[in-house]
Amino acid sequence: MLKPNNPYVRNANLIGGDWVAADNGATIAVDNPATGETIGHVPQSGRAETIRAVEAAKAAFPAFSKTTANQRAAWLRAMHAYMLDNQQALAEILTMEMGKPLAEAKGEIAIGAAYLLWFAEEARRVYGEVVPSPWGDRRILTTLEPVGVVAAITPWNFPSSMLARKIGPAIAAGCTSVIKPASQTPYSGLAWGMIAEAAGLPKGVMNIVTGKASEIGEVLCTHPDVAKVTFTGSTEVGIKLMQMAAGTVKKVSMELGGNAPFLVFDSADIDRAVAGAMAAKYRNSGQTCVCANRFLVQAGVYDEFCAKLAAASDALKVGNGLDDGVQQGPLIDAKAAAATETFVADAVSKGGRVLAGGKRHALGGSFFEPTVIADATPDMRFAREEIFGPVSPVFKFETEEQALAMANDTEYGLACYFYTRDLGQTIRVMEGLKYGIVGVNEGIVTTPEAPFGGIKQSGLGSEGGSQGIKEYLSVKYICIGGLGL
């Protein structure tokens, strides 16, 4: 149980600078997936609280949007420093509500902080343009202005860093925000309010409401005073939010689901490919949008890759993320473990060969064994669906053309990976893959300096990189005449 007086824990909404309960006092229980224990309760808010949060963000916007880039960069740097100074405590809360190993949780806090620092730097480079004018007596300027109130809705799998990618550019650009964290992991979301307070961010600039997704989401996507909706989560929910946001023509950014292929060619360094596969698959117990979902391996190295991947999967230490040396925690809940089981059962019923794991872990609860399934075929469910669990299906291919066709045969287009030591193949495959993010001989590629985002049904827009802040800015064209020229 998180201690009620834990200085890092907030059990209330943050609206206009005040920490407040839901209007009717209702709460949601938050459970630790490793132990099943309820660790605390947060407000079960709905429409009314969300409307007040939007009003608070709207009221804070005029003054905040006029602050200088240097001031906003200073707030972001202070938030960055606070996160690193308190990394251990913030990571422990994250592990307790989400389950990931403490080392991964500390990494998540660190990369979230790194996003803030990146956007602190970007804030000072929001340049407009002086455009050569077609008229001798007029001048043309463009400026970039903050879009206004931003609504941010985030998932449970990276409950801290998914917000960093939205809060960082929103503050850098001069936008105010209303945040709705996932109900299963609200403490890492509410901690952002504490981080903002510690850095002295003005009241109302960041507002946070926890509670009923459908009510909060509806207000955020339809309220005329919300200018932009930025969402990370499933494609299914993202589509609903886009449809609602269309009614008032809001700007939208969508970071949605994936079905990442991980290709290993005959020319690859197999040990490097296996190390990359372990990172790309089992990080966060397979619960990331960029997790390898399908391993596509060329016939000449198929058996070697399968054997090495199975051995490495068997060697992973599974347990409570707070315990020393644990490399894989539980899945988020019992439903997720049951869903993972159905992927395995489906594959086995269609001829899949289990080389490692294959069932719930002896630890019980939502723990699941790291699993490798060889002889995967296109009719198995994971060929099309996001697994979101620690299951590695390995498909065999013969030619590069076949591999590209298999890799691109999905409605998703977020991340993909491939391993080769052939230069020509590197270029051909890199150009042939229809994805927003490509890792070549690398299994983890996320960094604040690079744009993160998908194509096709994996989303719209980029987070991070020089592109990230632009999602929070609108362009104004100014034509100046009457200059007496």
Is 255 considered catalytic here? yes
Q: Which stretch binds ligand NAP (CB under 6 A): 37-45, 141-149, 178-186, 296-304?
A: 178-186
CB of 350 vs ligand NAP, minimal distance in Å: 24
DSSP string, 445-458: ---TTS-B--EETT
Residue type, 352: G
Query: 44 near 216, Cβ under 8 Å?
Result: no
User: By CB neighbour count within 10 A (0-12 exposed, 13-18 middle, 19+ buried), where does 413 fall?
Assistant: buried
CB of 445 vs ligand NAP, minimal distance in Å: 13
Enclosing H/E stretch for 345 = helix 334-349
Candidate list 171, 237, 301, 387; residue touching ligand NAP; CB under 6 A? 237
Is 289 considered catalytic here? yes
Distance of CA 382 to the CA centre of its chain: 21
Out of 175, 221, 289, 291, pick the active-site residue. 289
Q: Which stretch binds ligand NAP (CB under 6 A): 18-26, 211-219, 402-410, 470-478?
A: 211-219
Give the footprint of ligand NAP on residues 347-406 (CB under 6 A). 386
Q: Which stretch binds ligand NAP (CB under 6 A): 125-133, 232-240, 313-321, 353-361?
A: 232-240
Strand ordering across the sheet containing 206-208: 18-20, 13-15, 206-208, 176-180, 149-153, 226-232, 251-255, 459-460
Distance CA 291, CA 283 (A): 8
CB of 401 vs ligand NAP, minimal distance in Å: 28
Total residues interacting with ligand NAP, rule: CB under 6 A: 29
Out of 97, 255, 386, 471, pick the active-site residue. 255
| Residue 322-351 contact track with ligand NAP, rule CB under 6 A, x = bound | ------------------------------
Distance CA 158, CA 332 (A): 11
User: By CB neighbour count within 10 A (0-12 exposed, 13-18 middle, 19+ buried), where does 189 fall?
Assistant: buried
Candidate list 152, 227, 289, 433; residue touching ligand NAP; CB under 6 A? 289
Give the footprint of ligand NAP on residues 130-159 (CB under 6 A). 153-158
Candidate list 148, 258, 319, 413; residue touching ligand NAP; CB under 6 A? 258
Q: Which stretch binds ligand NAP (CB under 6 A): 255-263, 302-310, 342-350, 469-477?
A: 255-263
CB of 236 vs ligand NAP, minimal distance in Å: 7
Q: What's the per-residue H, E or C state across 385-444?
A: CCCCCCEEEEEEECCHHHHHHHHHCCCEECEEEEECCCHHHHHHHHHHCCCCEEEECCCC
Nearest to ligand NAP by Cβ — which residue?
217
Q: Give the Å distances, CA to CA, from 313 to 4, 357, 419, 462.
A: 38, 8, 19, 32
Query: 407 near 387, Cβ under 8 Å?
Result: no
CB of 254 vs ligand NAP, minimal distance in Å: 8
The residue among 233 and 389 lying less far from ligand NAP, judged by its C-beta, is: 233
Other C-beta atoms closer than 10 Å to the C-beta of 38 total 12
Residue 233 contacts ligand NAP per CB under 6 A: yes
Structure-token pair, residue 267:
């020319």
CB of 414 vs ligand NAP, minimal distance in Å: 5
Structure-token pair, residue 376:
């995967």
Residue 14 contacts ligand NAP per CB under 6 A: no
Residue 240 contacts ligand NAP per CB under 6 A: yes
The residue among 253 and 328 lying less far from ligand NAP, judged by its C-beta, is: 253
Candidate list 256, 301, 337, 356; residue touching ligand NAP; CB under 6 A? 256
Residues 6+ apart with CB under 8 A from 226: 54, 148, 149, 150, 151, 178, 220, 248, 250
Identify any residues that bridge with 30 across adjacent strands, giving them in sequence order.
40
Structure-token pair, residue 40:
């605390």
| Residue 429-458 contact track with ligand NAP, rule CB under 6 A, x = bound | -------------------------x----
415-436: b (≥16 Cβ within 10 Å) or e = bbbbbbeeeebbeebeeebebb
Q: Which stretch binds ligand NAP (CB under 6 A): 72-80, 111-119, 231-239, 311-319?
A: 231-239
CB of 12 vs ligand NAP, minimal distance in Å: 17
Residue 214 contacts ligand NAP per CB under 6 A: yes
Candidate list 170, 182, 226, 260; residue touching ligand NAP; CB under 6 A? 182
The residue among 108 and 400 lying less far from ligand NAP, judged by its C-beta, is: 108
Candidate list 49, 97, 255, 375; residue touching ligand NAP; CB under 6 A? 255
The residue among 302 and 382 lying less far from ligand NAP, judged by its C-beta, is: 382
The residue among 222 and 267 lying less far from ligand NAP, judged by its C-beta, is: 222
Question: Is the alpha carbon torsion for 58, 178, 454, 457 positive or negative?
Answer: negative
By annotation, the residues acting in catalysis are 255, 289
Please report, as ranges, the residues that interact with ligand NAP according to CB under 6 A: 153-158, 162, 180, 182-184, 213-214, 217, 232-234, 237, 240-241, 255-258, 289, 386, 414, 454, 459
